[in-house]
Structure 1
């Protein structure tokens, strides 16, 4: 049984990823990762340079993860290990933290130049969720989450924010671990089975499945619907506004309960 929000009637809390679910920033992140990794790989590999794929590599190795985890994950796929370094490493330093800082500087530059846009369908859906009396949280690995929400004009739509800064302060592991989503559910006073996770990243799907949440919604912005289902989505939509139509089916038989 689903409500007119496309959710089981037992749901009382909604946990939204930000990049790619609420805001059109996933492509900005992908471009920043590509610029960061390509510059590093050119220096390291020379004529054998193989560029970072802003679709396949982004989806598989970095999407949804904290920056340092994304650096380690992608470099491991190329058989590369770097020193960890320090959080204050300059962007030009070839350490895990240095590359992460380079990527962050590029993201901030691109956001400043291009601005931030929220998906209109997502805004409509979150507003409908709140009008129905459900509580809302944004759960993001980004340390820039608050600034992005403010820039997009949607910071007032969420009761709780668990972002990269909060995760670091509380030492919460990032996605695909469920800890940040579980922290958001607790802050909203909901058990995991009473909460729904909205994600566009494969790592986010795995976090939803691992956390035992009541429902996991995959948002397919990149033509990876089947992969989202395999990684734990109960239902996949191309836009959150699709869930305002109560005919949206459960296509997987329950992937995250």
Structure 2
């Protein structure tokens, strides 16, 4: 079905694939724009979760801010990466969102999807190297919080992307950097993503792509170029067991 256990390596997105932090991001983005947009664009449509999936999901923080502002006809200077959260700049708004995100993480914690953990364990047992490729600048914090940081040979996150000047998803640069770090061929490597921008990035990089439907919609993931779409990564283990059973018959 997917060939995930035949891959040279597996590259996971983080938010919405391994951990339920996508829900935390949705809450943080909603808090930001529900407060901010009425002040600068009072006649604009209210921000909704549909905006998250269409304009923000899978993108670097600043790119998400720009997309939402542009959708409401609002322009704003980028400012600097370390702008304070109160600054009226793209980076200032992004940092304001991040304050809310870390508040939620510290207050409520982070959940790992059970099926995703089962797949990580099975891949580790099969000696298949894994990496995390996430646009989030909080990826290391989240992985460390849930005790998964040492499971991944390579982590390419928003911090690495900025430092190494890697274009963010839907460009394939971050996935290609992870493949290079692992010493594997993209064509023989699997990307697992829940965002349209991430699926597109994997496809553009020449990877095999598994889409995980956590709310984006299977049709959108297929349209973006996913080779397979599942609702839970445990489905990949079911498929592996069926293949093994058929070989024994």
TM bucket (normalised to shorter chain) is over 0.9
Q: Quick one: which of 167, 184, 189 aligns to 1:190?
A: 184
8 Å CA contact 2:115–2:232 kept in 1: the answer is yes
Question: How big is each residue's C-alpha offset from its partner over 1:27-81, in whole Å with a ceiling of 9 and x where there is no partner?
Answer: 11011111111211111123x2532112x11111110111001111111112211
Residue of structure 1 in register with 2:34 after alignment = 38
Residue of structure 1 in register with 2:17 after alignment = 21
Match of 1:245, SS state, is helix
TM-superposed CA distance for 1:247, in Å, is 6.8
Residue of structure 2 in register with 1:242 after alignment = 235
Residue of structure 2 in register with 1:254 after alignment = none
The separation in 2 between residues aligned to 1:163 and 1:220, in whole angstroms, is 22
8 Å CA contact 2:19–2:113 kept in 1: the answer is yes
The separation in 2 between residues aligned to 1:129 and 1:88, in whole angstroms, is 38
TM-superposed CA distance for 1:87, in Å, is 1.5
Question: How big is each residue's C-alpha offset from its partner over 1:80-113, in whole Å with a ceiling of 9 and x where there is no partner?
Answer: 1111111121112221011100011110011001
8 Å CA contact 1:17–1:140 kept in 2: the answer is yes
Structure 1 unmatched runs, 5+: 250-257
TM-score (norm 1): 0.90
Structure 2 unmatched runs, 5+: 243-249
Match of 2:132, SS state, is strand
Pair 1:161 & 2:155 matched: yes
The separation in 1 between residues aligned to 2:23 and 2:71, in whole angstroms, is 21
The separation in 2 between residues aligned to 1:38 and 1:248, in whole angstroms, is 46
Q: Quick one: which of 141, 144, 149 aligns to 1:150?
A: 144
Off by >4 Å, runs of 4+ in structure 1: none
Pair 1:171 & 2:165 matched: yes
Residue of structure 1 in register with 2:8 after alignment = 12
Distance 1:107 1:9, change over 3 A: closer
Question: How big is each residue's C-alpha offset from its partner over 1:153-177, in whole Å with a ceiling of 9 and x where there is no partner?
Answer: 2112111111111111100011000
After superposition, the CA RMSD in angstroms is 1.6
Following superposition of structure 1 onto structure 2, how do residues 89-238 of structure 1 map, counting pairs within 5 Å?
A: 89-213=83-207, 215-222=208-215, 224-238=217-231
Q: How many residues are matched? A: 242
TM-score (norm 2): 0.93
Pair 1:78 & 2:72 matched: yes
